A and B are shown apart, each in its own frame.
Chain A
Amino acid sequence: MDFSELRIKVKQEAEKLGFTDWEITFSGSQGTELMVRCGDVDHFENSTQRGIAFRGNINGKTGYSYSEKIDDDAVKYLVKEAMENAELIEDEPEIFFEGSESYPDVKGFYEDIEAITPKQLIENAVNMEKGLLNSSEYIKSSDYCLCGKSSSESCMANSKGLNLSFKQNMALGYVSGIGENNGDIKTGGKYWYGTNINDFSPEELGKKAGEKIVVQFGAKSIPSGDINVVFENEAMSDLLATFSGVFFAENAQKGFSLLQGKTGEVIGSDILTIKDDGICEKSGYSIPFDSEGVAVKNKNVIENGVLKTLLYNIKSATKDNTQSTGNGFKAGIKSPVITTCTNFYIEEGNMSKSELLKTVENGIIINDVAGLHAGANIISGDFSLSAEGFLIENGEITKPVEQITVAGNFYDILKNVKALANDTKFSMPSGMGVFGSPSVFVGKMSVSGM
């Protein structure tokens, strides 16, 4: 059944049962992903996935359903289940969107990526592993050495006449390894993703992963205390991703964020600007519209410390009497529309990382935090995370540090930003969006170690 046929059948069934508004989404993807170990393909995976999701308003309530079976019975199931689910809802009905005035012209699908053969992927993975193992005598083995490519297609249509589709693809590589020096075991990894395969240098990526591992040998804990902390780019973007929910209007409205009513107020340091942009060349991830069919926007969420806007989907925007910011996304056919980021990033500063370290003089730079899903209280902003990194002494990186926890509060960090480097790094795209940050000096924090 193709999408236009599906759309007609859903329309008939939905109208028959009394839905006043309806929406059908098709989502399909194909991917190849493989892992190499000791020069051989260890795992190989091919996937074809498709599913349909239904959302509709009946008697002033919104019901949801999905199916990975796509046939006439599934259409009947979707509409009937959505009707029963709608009966339970004690919330305002959702608003179905007729479409934005215009959509940005986004290229998402690249023939070069589509043309990559499994053989090339294997070669790339083998070369990543080679780069890793040759980087140092201390690297004992690769841990994960993974290459892949994927393409996806989404189509959506609704009773308001919306009829959109978008196709995108990308390739990725991830390599991590295990190093050992006199019983001291260290791990680490590096990733690449993008739409231009010529940007990808597998051997170099492996080498960088190896270098990242060996510099950690001899890492020790440090005495507890309040000390200067720099979050390196990747660690900062992990932290930003974890607390991104505090910027969602739907969380603020429900009291799950302390930013309710703070728009227009100073909530951060005057050098801090945070953006959310659906189109971002540097991150390699761009999309023209969200899961509600709203065109994406480029906006400053925080501008020089002032909270300019929260992130909205149609429902939360209606509650606050404003417009959606194009952040209404579904994590997949199984999820309702929630709020997520697109490319959410801290705007970088002008100084290099080494210049930033000079302004810090003494402290630590954290390059890895663990336990973000457990040690962070999304509501209060409090976190206490186990961390790794390096000592900064007289403005230079010196010894590796491990077995410490760094504790603080996300809202305080926004206010305490003292300096920003110009080394922005973006995370891999996930259902939550893409997150980016340069290395950030956040002043003194409570660190506990020995």
Chain B
Amino acid sequence: MLKKSVVENTISAALSTGGNFAEIFMEDTKRNSISMVNGKVEKAFSGIDYGVGIRIFNGTNAIYAFTNDTSEKSLIETAKSAAAVIKNGNGDGKVMDFTKKIFDNRHQIKIMPETIDKKRKAEILRTSSNAAFCYSDVISQTRSSYADVCKDVFIANSEGLWVTDRRVRTRFSIEAVASSEYEKQSGRFSPGGSVGFELFDTIDVEELGKEAAKTAVTMLNAKNCPSGKMPVVIDNGFGGVIFHEACGHGLEATSVARNASVFAGKLGEKIASDVVTAIDDGTIPNGWGSGNIDDEGNFCQRNILIENGILKSYLIDKLNGIKMGMNSTGSGRRESYRFAPTSRMTNTFIAAGKSTPEEIISNTEYGLYAKQMGGGSVDPATGSFNFAVLEGYIIINGKICEPVRGATLIGKGSEILTKIDMVGNNLSRAQGMCGSISGSIPTDVGQPMIRVSEITVGGRGE
């Protein structure tokens, strides 16, 4: 993508004031998206994201600069102006000979999205939307969308790294809204992967439209959720957002390195109940959050974060690794060239346990069954989290009873981990976009069905 001499000259300029590491990240990304409202294509968009980010380390401090002008003159100027911030660099960084990093692509694409006519993509949206409308008369709206992206990246650094990678992702989304005179409730699914158009060989968009409609209709007729502390059974798939928000962010070196996480300094300690094993795995073939290499050019890894309740590893990027005296775990990620990379999750999930879902429900006398979770957020310093339950039911005497709506789960991640007392055997993953300081990136959340002995449930019911 860039000539060797341009890369060398840019890195030299970046190190000219004594920085000890410099890196170039370039991307050339083509995006396509189509969105449909109520069965009609409303927006279709395509575009090119293009630019270069230059990063310099001066000890543990980082300087970042980016530009869309990729001429040699502009790159050298950008590198020089960034380097000018360093006052007394110790100057041990130099440009090494580049060695091309070679690997087998673990995420083979069968059908490149660009080879498929846009009209066919739109028809998929229509099929799903129609299925949702057909499910029930109370479905009043649908929104569906299709998006594909093909991102070519090039990374080189002063340690001799030279690597290119192509990341292709495709995602589909359907949301159905059910309405009564006073209420609107919605259900949605958004499956995707590091795949091409073959995504649609693995999912049934008609069924997803129907399922989204079913959730919306169920919730429309639901009573308000009671509030208070109670046992909560969280189902598999997107239920893993609890771990992502409440624990995953706290295991990122971004917060651990500056002691802003409740999990800082706890490696080797028991932080969760015995039944909890948690993994971040960027190597899952064609996974939504997977890659061959991370955005610093390190190979993606399978990292065991928690094993039988013991904290085993953090998620570490290069810069925080220097601060912590630890190695990168292949977790340096960024949304685009506009962001310096930092430690992020890939596909993060609680590993399967031994209980069947039936055992978990039948062993719960009273509580909330959170079948589908919405999004949430967390303060990494305190671990306080909150997230919404999209589809919930009350459990009475070991049976799933009436649906309830408007529930919010709040608590602290570190406390929840110790209160997980049953883990199911039905692990599945679901796709999301995760926002943090290096932007919005695709990540998978996941878990089998789990039971938490007690969570504070916010709701409006009696």
* A371 and B338 form a contact (CB under 8 A): no
- For A65, the chain B residues whose CB sits under 8 A away are 45-47
Measured CB to CB, the nearest residue on chain A to B34 is A88
Measured CB to CB, the nearest residue on chain B to A369 is B386
Q: Mark B349-391, 1 if CB is under 8 A from A, else 0.
A: 0000000000000000000000000111101011010111000
- For B78, the chain A residues whose CB sits under 8 A away are 46, 48
* A386 and B68 form a contact (CB under 8 A): no
Asked whether any CB of chain B lies closer than 8 Å to the CB of A50, the reply is yes
Measured CB to CB, the nearest residue on chain A to B125 is A88
* A143 and B408 form a contact (CB under 8 A): no
Q: Mark B53-67, 1 if CB is under 8 A from A, else 0.
A: 000000001111111
Bound-state CA distance A254–B177 (Å) is 12
Asked whether any CB of chain A lies closer than 8 Å to the CB of B276, the reply is no
Tell me how far the C-beta of B312 lies from the nearest C-beta in chain A, rounded to whole angstroms: 24
- Which residue in A48, A379, A446 is a CB contact (below 8 Å) of B69? A48
Bound-state CA distance A42–B43 (Å) is 41
* A224 and B141 form a contact (CB under 8 A): no
A407-B406 CB under 8 A given contacts A65-B45, A74-B48, A77-B48: yes
Q: Mark B73-95, 1 if CB is under 8 A from A, else 0.
A: 01000100110010000000000
- Most chain-A Cβ atoms within 10 A of its Cβ — which of B43, B118, B375? B43
* A47 and B375 form a contact (CB under 8 A): no
- Scan residues 65-98 of chain A and give those whose CB is less than 8 A from a CB of chain B: 65-70, 74, 77, 81-82, 84-91
* A90 and B40 form a contact (CB under 8 A): yes
* B119 and A87 form a contact (CB under 8 A): yes
- Counting chain B residues whose Cβ lies within 8 A of the other chain, the interface size class is 35 or more
Bound-state CA distance A178–B61 (Å) is 21
- For A70, the chain B residues whose CB sits under 8 A away are 68
* A67 and B50 form a contact (CB under 8 A): yes
Bound-state CA distance A185–B236 (Å) is 32
Asked whether any CB of chain A lies closer than 8 Å to the CB of B426, the reply is no
Asked whether any CB of chain B lies closer than 8 Å to the CB of A110, the reply is no
Asked whether any CB of chain B lies closer than 8 Å to the CB of A37, the reply is yes
- Which residue in B177, B258, B376 is a CB contact (below 8 Å) of A37? B258
- For B51, the chain A residues whose CB sits under 8 A away are 49, 68
* A46 and B68 form a contact (CB under 8 A): no
Asked whether any CB of chain A lies closer than 8 Å to the CB of B460, the reply is yes
Asked whether any CB of chain B lies closer than 8 Å to the CB of A336, the reply is yes
- Which residue in A178, A334, A374, A448 is a CB contact (below 8 Å) of B376? A374
- Scan residues 23-73 of chain A and give those whose CB is less than 8 A from a CB of chain B: 34, 37, 40-51, 63-70
A63-B44 CB under 8 A given contacts A141-B259, A446-B460: yes
* A50 and B68 form a contact (CB under 8 A): yes
* B406 and A384 form a contact (CB under 8 A): yes
Asked whether any CB of chain A lies closer than 8 Å to the CB of B418, the reply is no
- For B66, the chain A residues whose CB sits under 8 A away are 45-49
* A43 and B141 form a contact (CB under 8 A): no
Asked whether any CB of chain A lies closer than 8 Å to the CB of B308, the reply is no
- Counting chain A residues whose Cβ lies within 8 A of the other chain, the interface size class is 35 or more
Bound-state CA distance A377–B405 (Å) is 11
- For A375, the chain B residues whose CB sits under 8 A away are 374, 376, 386-388, 408
- For B457, the chain A residues whose CB sits under 8 A away are 448
Chain B interface, >50% SS class = strand
Asked whether any CB of chain A lies closer than 8 Å to the CB of B275, the reply is no
Binding stretch for chain A, among B1-9, B165-173, B183-191, B324-332: B183-191
* A49 and B386 form a contact (CB under 8 A): no
* B61 and A41 form a contact (CB under 8 A): yes
Q: Mark A260-297, 1 if CB is under 8 A from B, else 0.
A: 00000000000000000000000000000000000000
Bound-state CA distance A234–B115 (Å) is 49
Measured CB to CB, the nearest residue on chain A to B460 is A407
Asked whether any CB of chain B lies closer than 8 Å to the CB of A255, the reply is yes
- For A408, the chain B residues whose CB sits under 8 A away are 460
Asked whether any CB of chain A lies closer than 8 Å to the CB of B268, the reply is no
* A43 and B61 form a contact (CB under 8 A): yes
Asked whether any CB of chain B lies closer than 8 Å to the CB of A309, the reply is no
Chain A interface, >50% SS class = strand
Asked whether any CB of chain A lies closer than 8 Å to the CB of B311, the reply is no
Measured CB to CB, the nearest residue on chain B to A178 is B381
Bound-state CA distance A402–B410 (Å) is 11
Asked whether any CB of chain B lies closer than 8 Å to the CB of A385, the reply is yes
- For B85, the chain A residues whose CB sits under 8 A away are 34, 41, 44, 118
Bound-state CA distance A95–B119 (Å) is 24
Asked whether any CB of chain B lies closer than 8 Å to the CB of A256, the reply is yes
A403-B122 CB under 8 A given contacts A67-B47, A68-B51, A178-B381: no
- Most chain-A Cβ atoms within 10 A of its Cβ — which of B45, B69, B186? B45
Asked whether any CB of chain B lies closer than 8 Å to the CB of A16, the reply is no
- Which residue in A256, A258, A371 is a CB contact (below 8 Å) of B386? A371
Measured CB to CB, the nearest residue on chain A to B84 is A118
Asked whether any CB of chain B lies closer than 8 Å to the CB of A106, the reply is no
- Scan residues 365-410 of chain A and give those whose CB is less than 8 A from a CB of chain B: 370-371, 373-375, 377, 379-380, 382, 384-386, 402-405, 407-408
Asked whether any CB of chain A lies closer than 8 Å to the CB of B298, the reply is no
Asked whether any CB of chain B lies closer than 8 Å to the CB of A187, the reply is yes
* A43 and B459 form a contact (CB under 8 A): no
Bound-state CA distance A348–B384 (Å) is 32
A64-B50 CB under 8 A given contacts A47-B65, A178-B260, A448-B228: no
* B47 and A66 form a contact (CB under 8 A): yes
A89-B45 CB under 8 A given contacts A44-B62, A256-B141: no
Tell me how far the C-beta of A392 lies from the nearest C-beta in chain B, rounded to whole angstroms: 21
Bound-state CA distance A85–B185 (Å) is 31
Q: Mark B127-171, 1 if CB is under 8 A from A, else 0.
A: 000000000000011000000000000000000000000000000
* A374 and B388 form a contact (CB under 8 A): yes
* A44 and B386 form a contact (CB under 8 A): no
- Which residue in B37, B46, B61 is a CB contact (below 8 Å) of A81? B46
Asked whether any CB of chain A lies closer than 8 Å to the CB of B179, the reply is yes
Asked whether any CB of chain A lies closer than 8 Å to the CB of B456, the reply is yes
* A42 and B61 form a contact (CB under 8 A): yes
- Which residue in A45, A49, A336 is a CB contact (below 8 Å) of B68? A49
* B48 and A68 form a contact (CB under 8 A): yes
Bound-state CA distance A79–B38 (Å) is 28
- Most chain-B Cβ atoms within 10 A of its Cβ — which of A34, A74, A256, A377? A377
A405-B69 CB under 8 A given contacts A68-B50, A336-B45, A375-B388: no
- For B67, the chain A residues whose CB sits under 8 A away are 47-49
Asked whether any CB of chain A lies closer than 8 Å to the CB of B434, the reply is no
- For B42, the chain A residues whose CB sits under 8 A away are 89-91
Bound-state CA distance A207–B318 (Å) is 33
- Which residue in B82, B185, B374, B460 is a CB contact (below 8 Å) of A46? B82
Asked whether any CB of chain A lies closer than 8 Å to the CB of B439, the reply is no
Tell me how far the C-beta of A352 lies from the nearest C-beta in chain B, rounded to whole angstroms: 31
Asked whether any CB of chain A lies closer than 8 Å to the CB of B407, the reply is yes
A43-B64 CB under 8 A given contacts A65-B45, A371-B377: yes
Would you mind naming 19 contact pairs between A and B with Cβ atoms under 8 Å apart? A44-B64, A46-B78, A50-B68, A68-B49, A70-B68, A74-B48, A84-B46, A88-B41, A254-B38, A258-B184, A333-B47, A371-B388, A371-B408, A375-B376, A377-B186, A384-B388, A384-B458, A405-B456, A448-B227
Task: Pick the 5 closest A-B CB pairs, nearest first.
Answer: A405-B458, A85-B44, A448-B227, A66-B47, A374-B375
